[in-house]
């Protein structure tokens, strides 16, 4: 997957597939394997470069139910083999090292850890053993409106990179994700997007997942399904600030926006 980041000006588009009953935006829509596979095929047709599949909701503020290891794998088993046949890399979105190991062994190309190698002590070792790329996301147990959120993100990434180094994960295999909406107030999420370029100091690709997030509701009150425009605005600006990957629900709309923006930029 990381080889695709070299060259093109446009960020890669990662399509979100939640095979969960309780994800904040589309919970329950794709719990049925047939519907999930149909949705994945549709996202690839719409231009998704990567598919990110998760079977445990990671929605913030403690509102998601924890999922047992066996149940998480049971949700993935009927879906993952079909996704691997669609011709794009598949990322496994999980907090559990055993699930990551199972999915990577089955053919998934990337591990996406919303706790940045800092929650499950085995995660970094599993990823190193599989020689897989990893998305390291910033997270906090709770938001604190009094902190400098960019300083907190920088300190978190420094810890994650130290863990990665200790486990033997090559720097070239790491993507950083500032975790829009995770352990942050809506105001802080907006601040992170505005200051995204500061993350260039790490010299690593950056993923931004602003799709349908709560900060959009702060600016324009709206339900998650009504936040497509705000999501596109956030991802276009993130691309301008150097994002290498954007993680989205609305693939066709995002791909169109990125391509039109690129065409306009080329015409200047």
Contacts of 86 (CB under 8 A, 6+ apart): 40, 41, 44, 51
Model confidence pLDDT, tens digit, residues 162-204: 999 999 999 999 999 999 999 999 999 999 999 999 999 999 9
Ranges of each domain in the chain: 2-266
Percent of the chain with pLDDT over 90: 87
Give the tokens for residue 211.
């799709």
Catalytic positions are: 213, 247
- The pTM assigned to this predicted structure is 0.94
Average pLDDT, the chain: 93
Model confidence pLDDT, tens digit, residues 89-142: 999 999 999 999 999 999 999 999 999 999 999 999 999 999 999 999 999 999
Give the mean model confidence (pLDDT) for residues 235-250.
98
Model confidence pLDDT, tens digit, residues 56-100: 987 554 445 688 999 999 999 999 999 999 999 999 999 999 999
Rounded CA gap, 82 and 91, in Å?
A: 13
Task: Please give the CATH architecture assigned to the domain spanning 2-266.
Answer: Alpha-Beta Barrel (3.20)
Give the mean model confidence (pLDDT) for residues 21-39.
74
Q: Are 46 and 259 in contact (CB under 8 A)?
A: no
Q: Are 26 and 249 in contact (CB under 8 A)?
A: yes
């Amino acid at each position: 997957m990381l080889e695709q980041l070299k060259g093109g000006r446009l960020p890669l588009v990662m399509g979100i597939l939640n095979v969960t009953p309780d994800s904040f935006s589309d919970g329950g829509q794709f719990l049925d394997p047939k519907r999930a596979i149909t949705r994945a095929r549709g996202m690839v047709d719409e231009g998704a470069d990567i598919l990110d599949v998760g079977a445990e909701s990671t929605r913030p503020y403690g509102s998601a139910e924890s999922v047992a290891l066996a149940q998480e794998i049971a949700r993935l088993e009927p879906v993952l083999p079909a996704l691997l046949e669609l011709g794009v890399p598949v990322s496994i979105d999980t907090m559990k090292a055993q699930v990551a190991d199972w999915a990577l062994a089955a053919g998934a190309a990337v591990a996406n850890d919303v706790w940045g190698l800092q929650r499950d002590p085995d995660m970094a070792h599993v990823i190193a053993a599989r020689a897989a790329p990893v998305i390291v996301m910033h997270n906090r147990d709770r938001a604190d409106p009094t902190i400098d959120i960019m300083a907190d993100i920088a300190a978190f990434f420094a810890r994650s990179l130290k863990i990665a180094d200790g486990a033997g994960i090559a720097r070239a295999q790491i993507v950083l994700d500032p975790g829009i909406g995770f352990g942050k107030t809506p105001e802080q999420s907006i601040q992170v997007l505005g200051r995204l370029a500061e993350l260039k100091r790490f010299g690593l690709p950056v993923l931004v997942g602003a799709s349908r997030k709560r900060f959009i509701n702060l600016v324009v009150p709206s339900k998650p399904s009504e936040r497509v425009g705000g999501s596109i605005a956030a991802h276009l600006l993130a691309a301008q600030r150097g994002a290498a990957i954007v993680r989205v629900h609305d693939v066709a709309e995002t791909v169109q926006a990125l391509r039109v923006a690129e065409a306009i930029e080329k015409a200047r």
